[in-house]
Amino acid sequence: MRTLALARCCSSACLRLDVLARVFLLARVFSVVATIVGVLVVVGGCTKRSSIEWESAVEKAHPLVGRIWDVQAGAFIAEDTLVARLVASKFVLLGERHDNPDHHALQAKLMRAMVEAGRRPALGFEMLATDDAPAIVRYLARSPKDATGLGDAVNWSRSGWPEWRYYQPIAQAALDANVPIVATNLSRAATEAVRRNGLPGLGPTLTTQLRLAEPAPETRLAMTRELRESHCGQVPDNTIDRMADIQWARDARIAASLARGGQRDGGVLIAGAGHVRRDRGVPLHLALQAPGATIASVAFVEVDAAATKPGDYAQRFGSDTLPFDYVWFTPKVDEADPCEKLKKAIETETTPK
DSSP string, 39-54: HHHHHHHHHPPP----
User: Where are the chain's structural domains?
Assistant: 1-47, 50-350
What is the rounded CA–CA span in Å between residue 303 and residue 282? 24
Q: Which of left, alpha, beta for 181 (phi over 0: left; psi -120 to 50: alpha)?
A: beta
Higher-pLDDT residue of 202 and 50 is 202
Buried b (16+ CB within 10 A) or exposed e, 152-165: ebbebeeeebbebe
Q: How many CA atoms lie within 13 A of 84 on its CB side?
A: 5
What is the rounded CA–CA span in Å between residue 215 and residue 251? 12
| The pLDDT of residue 340 | 77
Q: What is the mean pLDDT of residues 64-90?
A: 98
3-state secondary structure of 340: helix
Contact 18, 49 (CB under 8 A): no
| The pLDDT of residue 342 | 73
3-state secondary structure of 301: strand
Q: What is the mean pLDDT of residues 152-165?
A: 97
pLDDT in tens, 247-259: 999 999 999 999 9
Architecture category of domain 50-350 in CATH? 3-Layer(aba) Sandwich (3.40)
Query: pTM for the complete prediction?
Result: 0.85
Q: What is the DSSP letter of 185?
A: E
To the nearest 10°, report the CA torsion of 95, 96, 97, 103. Answer: 160
What backbone phi and psi angles, to 5 degrees, belong to 43? -65, -45
| The pLDDT of residue 254 | 98
Stated as kind and residue range, the H or E segment containing 82 is helix 79-87
Contact 195, 246 (CB under 8 A): yes
Q: How many CA atoms lie within 13 A of 20 on its CB side?
A: 6
Percent pLDDT > 90 in the chain is: 78
